[in-house]
Structure 1
């Protein structure tokens, strides 16, 4: 397991904060043993929390020409037909994966193909499970066209804790299944929009892993 590049600055700042607060407590409250140990334990907890959030575990990825692979770790919170109003402007099959702060937050391309559309939207920071988060929160929208001509839309959505969405793709890019397309910091959600009738291999509340769990099969 390694640490993702998006975590370098946050980890460095966290270590600096821990050093300062521990040095202050050691200097100001040297005789209060219980307080020093409380701060030590808090510092350890903070460091472990930040490190685990930015972890990048080694994985053996699942791949397949007609497979749609889960783009993120988390839990399936939505499987339903819905109106997609930004790009398709018609009914699509939506699958949503909620990422808690303890999940790996790397986002991976669910299919290989050409990026036909990309847009970043600034917005609010409603809880990621709130239905309005799909249209009101800070988010990105990516549409990748499979070589068989099927377009798949996936959307990064910031949550109540997430304050930064990172993306690595742009229109015209030729992307590869399971390669990173982005990262969301501290709790979030990814929506995937598929053609109606697509065979979905997931169930509600199922725990999935990005790059490993098969989400659907394209016809």
Structure 2
């Protein structure tokens, strides 16, 4: 399944159908049997339906006009800004964004360029805010190269609840800044690895909007 522009991302359709079907079953039983015992779980299931719909929402985003700005690949909260070492880039700087279950979970390309590498690692499922999540958790990453040769890596990382990383981009694909390229189901995080010496435009604790919030200026 490829990324979609639909208001609700297609990955969520089965979950919405299952939860809605359960709600209709319980609500129908509560009405037919006049049962309070069924009405309570029906109400809880309705909340579940609304949560699932909210989780798989897929809003449109508009990247900033300044093409030198690298944008956030995920909605969430910045949990780390600082130095790092990445196997494909070497010494670099990193910005980590934690996505709670209430955030939009569709991920977007932070820059325009070509995918030059893709890597996957099986791993553990620490809380995505944990310091060891970047190196220990299950993850899928891409390395992209701009037309000027600058390379950036960004990694989808599974969290404590997340059990499914979806990445549709392959080596050789051309992605545009802000373009949808995948998602992670339930709480998780995305790490962005950047060349050294860039001034971060975000701070720890700041909220980001995928495809819109500027993280650094690449110049």
TM, length-normalised to structure 2: 0.91
Instruction: Report the CA distance between 1:31 and its aligned residue.
Output: 5.2
Secondary structure class of the residue paired with 1:148 = coil
Gaps of 5+ in 2: 1-5
Residues in 2 aligned to 1:177 and 1:61: alpha-carbon distance in whole angstroms: 7
CA contact (8 A) 2:73 2:210 kept: yes
Instruction: Report the CA distance between 1:65 and its aligned residue.
Output: 2.6
Instruction: Report the CA distance between 1:147 and its aligned residue.
Output: 1.3
1:19 aligns to 2:24 (yes or no): yes
Residues in 2 aligned to 1:188 and 1:142: alpha-carbon distance in whole angstroms: 17
Count of matched residue pairs: 214
**1:103-122 CA distances to partner (integer Å, 9 max, x unpaired)?**
00010000001111101222
**Residue number in structure 1 paired with 2:98:** 98
TM, length-normalised to structure 1: 0.91
1:43 aligns to 2:48 (yes or no): no
**Alignment equivalent of 1:67, drawn from 69, 74, 81:** 69
1:87 aligns to 2:88 (yes or no): yes
Secondary structure class of the residue paired with 1:200 = coil
Gaps of 5+ in 1: none
**Residue number in structure 1 paired with 2:177:** 177
1:4 aligns to 2:9 (yes or no): yes
For the aligned residue pairs, the C-alpha RMSD in angstroms reads: 1.7
Residues in 2 aligned to 1:183 and 1:31: alpha-carbon distance in whole angstroms: 42
**Residue number in structure 2 paired with 1:213:** 213
CA contact (8 A) 2:61 2:210 kept: no
Residues in 1 aligned to 2:44 and 2:149: alpha-carbon distance in whole angstroms: 52
